């Protein structure tokens, strides 16, 4: 049974995570895709193509991507190379304290260049990327022409 995981499932946005796909056939070519929707509903995605190792596992931290949104060894590549479906959009998080980005990670059989309605992932999972740790207090700053926010630890 094919399985894809993100460890830890919930983390701060500046912390590394580990993406792994298991249960594949040895030397199977697969596509790993990560995607999310921002607060305006715009979709951002990245994909990378891999060849499973002898045990049927793919780990972007140990196996180089053969192409896609990036190539080579890049453990966080699926998150760092997210691109908008609509050109010239920027990935911004406005509500940093209220909700996380929900990252969807999927593994597909073969090389998936474009999305189609017939494409079904072999496995999928979801991870949370938070921008503020629990207990952090956000204090708005308005002093003269200065605008900003002060984040105070618990």
Closest CA to 35 of 88, 91, 73: 91
* pLDDT value for 59: 97
* pLDDT value for 94: 86
* pLDDT value for 97: 86
> Which H, E and C letters describe 85-122, residue by residue?
CCCCCCCCCCCCCCCCEEEEEEEEECCCCCCCCCCCCC
* pLDDT value for 127: 97
Q: Are strands 101-109 and 123-130 parallel, antiparallel or unpaired?
A: antiparallel
Domain span at residue 111? Answer: 3-152
Give the tens place of pLDDT for each residue, 26-45: 999 999 999 999 999 999 99
Enter the tokens of residue 18.
């580990």
* pLDDT value for 119: 84
How many Å apart are CA 110 and CA 118, to the nearest integer? 14
Radius of gyration, alpha carbons of the chain: 18
* Blockwise average pLDDT, block size 10, the chain, 154 residues: 96 96 97 96 96 97 96 96 94 89 96 82 96 92 94 92
* pLDDT value for 22: 97
The structural domain count of the chain equals 1
CATH of the domain at 103: 2.60.40.2240
Say whether pTM exceeds 0.85.
yes
Residue 40 Cα distances to 3, 90, 124, angstroms: 30, 11, 23
Enter the tokens of residue 67.
């192409």
* pLDDT value for 4: 98
* pLDDT value for 125: 97
């Amino acid at each position: 049974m094919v399985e894809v995981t993100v460890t830890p499932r919930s983390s701060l946005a500046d912390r590394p995570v580990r993406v792994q796909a298991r249960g594949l056939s040895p030397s199977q070519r697969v596509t790993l895709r990560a995607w999310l929707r921002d607060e305006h509903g715009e979709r951002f995605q990245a994909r990378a193509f891999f060849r499973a190792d002898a045990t049927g596992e793919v780990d972007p931290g140990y196996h180089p991507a053969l192409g896609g949104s990036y190539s080579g060894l890049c453990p966080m590549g699926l998150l760092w190379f997210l691109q908008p479906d609509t050109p010239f959009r920027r990935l911004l998080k406005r509500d940093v304290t209220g909700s996380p980005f929900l990252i969807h990670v999927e593994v597909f059989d073969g090389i998936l260049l474009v999305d189609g309605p017939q494409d079904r992932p072999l496995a999928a999972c979801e991870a949370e990327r938070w921008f503020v740790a629990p207990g952090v207090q956000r204090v708005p700053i308005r002093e003269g022409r200065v605008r900003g926010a002060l984040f105070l630890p618990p």
